[in-house]
Amino acid sequence: MTRPKLRKKIILLSITVIIEIVALIFFWNALKKTDVTNGQASPALGTSGGLPNLLGDLNLILPISFLVILLGIACAFYVEEWLSATNWVRRFIESQVAFLTGIPSLLYGLLAVAVFFGYAGVFKATLQNAEGSALAGTPFQRNTALFYTETLIFILTVMPVAIKTTQTALRSVETPIRESAYALGATQWQVLTKQVVPRAFPRMLAGGCRAMARAFAAAALLVGIYAWSHTMELRGFPDRFMLFLGGALLLSNASSFLTEIYVPASTQHN
Amino acid sequence: MNYSIEAENLNLWYGDFQALIDVNVKIPGGQITSLIGPSGCGKSTLLRCFNRVNERYGNVTTKGKIEVLGKNIYDADVSLPELRKAVGMVFQRPNPLPISVYENILFGLRIHSPIRSMTRTESDQIVEEALTSVFLWEDLKDNLKVRATSLQLEQQQKLCIARLLPLKPKIILMDEPCSALDAKGTGAVEELMEILAGTYTFLIVTHNMAQARRVSKECIFMFLGELIEHRETQALFEDPQHEKTEDYVQMRYG
């Protein structure tokens, strides 16, 4: 690297670091003023601090969203690099992603509540077994259901965002780069690891951030659901409304998929 | 006569569209052969068959036989990386990788050899040899760390040729190598091709008939997916046997 370039980089880096430190100081002061950093958790509103909530949120979403985002990235790689644009698996996944990214997570939250806490729950049997076992009445019983709910909601809300952004990042690498690497005899794996991923990585990171943001939004929902499950009779859930909601979601999803199948793929990349 | 490439009854479809119809061709080794014809006649498709890069576009069906250096490249045991190592390709727009000049030249070699198998001295020498044979060494020897995409187009295209050389290919395919270059760049690349022609077999696609006439020894005329005429360049241009060839070389269309 030539000297002027190095100097420029050092200057830019130090400016960024200074801006970040200043921002952090401001942010911390703001937090202090609103008493968010108070570590005391309290059932009474107004007296509790924000830190436990923040940590609770992170604790709730980090492990599962991390796994779900990784799964989404792997899925995007498979779809984008290994399946041709006309492959029906690819078209199915792409139509699902387009559909899911456009739906507010609240609807899925309600659906998940119906599935896991409601009447016709897939895991109803599990819950019933738990009722008869030593776990009955313990928080674990509810937590298991919450765990399944969270996973389902994250798969429906976070994963499509991860898939979409990773796909966009992979497409942003120009065709000539791939072409020239292939023509020199590189295997698909070499093209990906040596050329495509290094160039797509910044965008993939940004996509990961977007997916995390969606996970935080879904966390609010989860907290709501958990509180709901504490206060409401599980059997008192309005099942007809749920049936209607689930039916409507399935119907619109199916119609979007059929449109995707019958409208010929107009854009062929690679 | 030794032939580098022999294609027999080659048919190719993109989906339902037949792009190549019963192409039979023999490309002689160690000289420049050019492919001419109007747009969409299958020149580039034919060229891309010879190192099987067109398979990546999906939806391609190929039937027939292509022997490159005496081996059918559609056999099941053919390794694509090895084939593409032996049959290099230069594209229409110069497409060096967005890394340094030095790394560009070594990229091909690195993907074909185990990690850390080259010493620094060896790689320096390889880069120098490759750049010297395309007459870029004098211009670039102090700028080897410069990003290859920031060079002039002419230099980029020469670099694209240079990075094939360490792989020791037998055949170099060129898809309109000069269409993005000005007159001076075209001249330089043509001169380079003529010098390298003894060592490598060149097959170039060109829209520029003057260029085909200048550089190539044999010339192939294609029309709507069919190979119409394949003769010595001089003869093809001065005494075309086929009506369509005559129309084309006298620039009545195309």
- Assign 3-class secondary structure to A54-110: HHHHHHHHHHHHHHHHHHHHHHHHHHHHHCCCCCHHHHHHHHHHHHHHCCCHHHHHH
Strand-pair partners of B232: B218
Higher model confidence: residue A22 or residue A131?
A22
Contact list in B for residue A182 (CB cut-off 8 A) is: 53, 56, 84
Place A44 in a pLDDT band, splitting at 50, 70 and 90: low
Contact list in A for residue B88 (CB cut-off 8 A) is: 183-184
Q: What is the mean pLDDT of residues A19-27?
A: 87
Smallest Cα–Cα separation from B225: which of B5, B117, B64, B82? B64
pLDDT at position A115, please? Answer: 63
Smallest Cα–Cα separation from A171: which of A39, A29, A269, A24? A269
pLDDT at position A268, please? Answer: 41
Whether residue A171 lies within 8 A of chain B, CB to CB, comes out as no
* HSE of B46, CA atoms in CB hemisphere, 13 A: 34
Strand-pair partners of B221: B36, B229
Q: What is the mean pLDDT of residues A208-228?
A: 80
pLDDT at position A135, please? Answer: 46
pLDDT tens per residue, chain B (254 residues)?
Answer: 788 889 999 999 988 889 899 999 999 888 999 999 888 888 889 998 998 888 877 788 888 989 888 888 888 888 888 899 899 999 988 999 989 999 999 998 888 888 888 888 999 999 999 998 888 888 888 989 999 989 988 889 889 989 998 998 989 999 988 888 888 888 888 988 888 888 899 999 998 888 888 898 899 999 888 888 898 888 888 888 888 888 888 876 65
pLDDT at position B70, please? Answer: 84
Enumerate residues 82 to 141 of chain A having a beta carbon within 8 A of any beta carbon in chain B: 84-86
Contact list in A for residue B150 (CB cut-off 8 A) is: none
Whether residue A6 lies within 8 A of chain B, CB to CB, comes out as no
Statement: residue A247 has pLDDT above 90: no
Whether residue B156 lies within 8 A of chain A, CB to CB, comes out as no
Q: What angle do CA A248, A250, A253 make, to 5 degrees?
A: 105
> What distance in Å separates residue A183's CA from the closest CA in chain B?
6
Contact between B89 and A195 using a beta-carbon 8 Å cutoff: no
Whether residue B88 lies within 8 A of chain A, CB to CB, comes out as yes
Place A33 in a pLDDT band, splitting at 50, 70 and 90: low
Whether residue B112 lies within 8 A of chain A, CB to CB, comes out as yes
Mean of all residue pLDDT scores within chain A? 75
Q: How many domains does chain A have?
A: 1
User: Tell me, what CATH number does A247's domain have?
Assistant: 1.10.3720.10
Higher model confidence: residue A27 or residue B237?
B237
Whether residue A199 lies within 8 A of chain B, CB to CB, comes out as yes
Statement: residue A166 has pLDDT above 90: yes
pLDDT at position A123, please? Answer: 45
Distance between CA atoms of residues B8 and A260, nearest Å: 41
Looking only at Cα atoms, what is the longest distance across chain B? 58
In this prediction the pTM is 0.75
Whether residue A184 lies within 8 A of chain B, CB to CB, comes out as yes
Smallest Cα–Cα separation from B27: which of B195, B173, B207, B164? B173
Q: What is the mean pLDDT of residues A192-216?
A: 90
Measure CB to CB from residue A177 to each of B82, B98, B112 and give the nearest one.
Answer: B98
Neighbour count for residue A231 (Cβ, 10 Å): 6
Q: What is the mean pLDDT of residues A169-186?
A: 89
Helix (H) or strand (E) holding B18: strand B17-28
Contact between B164 and A184 using a beta-carbon 8 Å cutoff: yes
* Beta strand residue intervals within chain A, DSSP E: none
Parent domain of A28:
3-268
Place A167 in a pLDDT band, splitting at 50, 70 and 90: very high
Smallest Cα–Cα separation from B4: which of B89, B49, B69? B69
Statement: residue A50 has pLDDT above 80: no
Give the DSSP letter of residue A192: I
Higher model confidence: residue A226 or residue A7?
A7
Residues above pLDDT 90, as percent of chain A: 18
> What distance in Å separates residue A176's CA from the closest CA in chain B?
6
